[in-house]
Amino acid sequence: MSKMKVLLFMFLSSCTCLVALSTHDGLLPNGNFELGPIPSQINGTRVLFSYAIPNWRISGYVEYIKYGDKQGDMLLIVPEGTYSVRLGNEASIRQKLKVTKGTFYSITFSAVRTCAQDEKLNVSVTPNSEANDWGILPIQTMYSSNGWDSYSWAFLAESNEIEISIHNPGIEEDRACGPLIDSVALKALHPPRRLKANMLKNANFEEGPYIFPKSSWGVLIPPNIEDDHCPLPGWIIESLKAVKYIDSNHFVVPKGKRAIELVGGKESVISQIVRTRPGKEYVLSFAIGDARNMCEGSLVVEAFAGKIKVQVPYVSKGTGGFKRSKFRFIAVSYRTRIRFSSTFYTTKSDSSGSLCGPVIDDVRLVGVRKFLN
């Protein structure tokens, strides 16, 4: 291929972000940023033009980072592939997509903070009419051993054409001191239904955000997310810390292909509100274990049913395994909150200092066929 044809191809590729592209579950077009600017559109690592990265529109101080680039003595790494982008102060990346109006979607992307300590990312979708269609995701806490984490955020599509934005709202003395972003994906979420054999929705956690096939660190579901916009349909993340969504390809999962790891002690909480009958007896059962991710020691899950609390211990060797637990309670109202948290903060035994915790899966709530006076 001649040099003129190569330049023409790269120019046309860089313009594809001007129109909305159809999408399906998985990476967005050039979602891993492996297609980058042509040499005339970049100065060192800084991207000079809004449409220089194919399929994306950028604003502010955005850098195109190659695996192995350095910032002072710090080596900048890329989780998958060779390239990623870095968002400086008030910088953003955007992409237009064709979706199905009225469908819930979850965005998954990988990020790592660099030189700033209190970094956050603002994720949003337009057009939108609800305040819930944007979110500030804290990324200062490290949960994986390699420094990278994947984050998820959900929204309801109010149009057949949307624009997704990831924005760094930080204010640092060094305007280039911002997080690295890589591997942006989208997945349609299907609202779960309650089954006759289980009063809880999505009780086995099979419906959730997109997990990158080659990543081995799961996906974080951010805190304080209500069930109508949660990447974990049916559940509420009512905590200060995230919970981790894990898969059986990279972790030990008690049942099925997906589960939840409570990585933030008492600050990682999932809950669900169900309709109950006062005076009726119910049985709550669930599996507790470890994900085979070097999370060793004494793990304890606190399970709540209304005001009833049960602590379930599990001694982990960090090599995988689980046990089942159940308890009975009598409902005292027409709505009962089922809630799970971890009693202790735990870190992995690999000296990385990254947080871990007990795995929860296969949660079941059933009524006992009798009434109590």
Residue 70's CATH number: 2.60.120.260
Q: How many CA atoms lie within 13 A of 364 on its CB side?
A: 17
Residue 197 included in any domain? no
- Please choose, from the candidates 99, 205, 118, 208, the residue with its C-alpha nearest in 3D space to the C-alpha of residue 156: 99
Provide the greatest CA pair distance for the chain.
Answer: 86
> Are both 165 and 274 inside the same structural domain?
no
Residue 290 included in any domain? yes
Of the listed ranges 88-102, 173-187, 256-270, the one predicted with least confidence: 173-187
Residue 213 included in any domain? no
> Are both 181 and 231 inside the same structural domain?
no
Rounded CA-CA distance 76/180 in Å is 9
Q: Burial of 164 by CB count in 10 Å (0-12 exposed, 13-18 middle, 19+ buried)?
A: buried
170 or 342: which leads in pLDDT: 342
> Are both 158 and 23 inside the same structural domain?
yes
Q: Give the model's confidence band at 18: pLDDT under 50 very low, under 70 low, under 90 confident, else very high.
A: very low
Q: Give the model's confidence band at 167: pLDDT under 50 very low, under 70 low, under 90 confident, else very high.
A: very high
Whether 6 shows a pLDDT value over 50: the answer reads no
Question: Residue 217 to residues 287, 329, 357: CA-CA distances in angstroms?
Answer: 21, 36, 13
Residues near 195 by Cβ (< 8 Å), separated by ≥ 6? none
* Cβ 178 vs Cβ 87: under 8 Å: yes
Strand, coil or helix: 205: coil
Helices (H), 78-117: none
> Are both 155 and 251 inside the same structural domain?
no
Rounded CA-CA distance 76/81 in Å is 13
Whether 186 shows a pLDDT value over 60: the answer reads yes
Residue 165 included in any domain? yes
Residue 195 included in any domain? no
List phi, psi (to 5°) of 10: -65, -35
Whether 8 shows a pLDDT value over 60: the answer reads no
* Cβ 252 vs Cβ 289: under 8 Å: yes
Residues near 366 by Cβ (< 8 Å), separated by ≥ 6? 197, 198, 199, 282, 283
Question: Residue 153 to residues 14, 17, 117, 202, 314: CA-CA distances in angstroms?
Answer: 27, 22, 22, 17, 31
Query: Final residue of a domain: which of 142, 172, 189?
Result: 189
Whether 56 shows a pLDDT value over 90: the answer reads yes
Residue 230 included in any domain? yes
Residues near 3 by Cβ (< 8 Å), separated by ≥ 6? none
Whether 14 shows a pLDDT value over 90: the answer reads no
Residue 268 included in any domain? yes
* Cβ 269 vs Cβ 343: under 8 Å: no
Of the listed ranges 124-128, 207-211, 233-237, the one predicted with least confidence: 124-128
Q: Is 45 left (phi over 0), alpha (psi -120 to 50) or beta?
A: alpha
> Are both 121 and 83 inside the same structural domain?
yes
Whether 131 shows a pLDDT value over 70: the answer reads no
* Cβ 220 vs Cβ 152: under 8 Å: yes
> Are both 24 and 166 inside the same structural domain?
yes
Structure token digits, residue 96: 């237009």
> Are both 154 and 259 inside the same structural domain?
no
pLDDT of residue 77: 80
* Structural domain boundaries, residue 335: 219-371
Q: How many CA atoms lie within 13 A of 354 on its CB side?
A: 15
Q: Burial of 54 by CB count in 10 Å (0-12 exposed, 13-18 middle, 19+ buried)?
A: buried
As for how many domains the chain has, the answer is 2
> Are both 75 and 8 inside the same structural domain?
yes
Residue 203 included in any domain? no
Q: Give the model's confidence band at 61: pLDDT under 50 very low, under 70 low, under 90 confident, else very high.
A: very high
* Cβ 348 vs Cβ 143: under 8 Å: no
Question: Residue 169 to residues 13, 93, 226, 263: CA-CA distances in angstroms?
Answer: 28, 12, 23, 26
Strand, coil or helix: 207: coil
pTM reported for the whole predicted model: 0.90
Over residues 76-101, mean pLDDT: 92
> Are both 79 and 145 inside the same structural domain?
yes
> Are both 13 and 103 inside the same structural domain?
yes
> Are both 223 and 114 inside the same structural domain?
no
pLDDT of residue 12: 45
Q: Give the model's confidence band at 117: pLDDT under 50 very low, under 70 low, under 90 confident, else very high.
A: low
> Are both 184 and 271 inside the same structural domain?
no
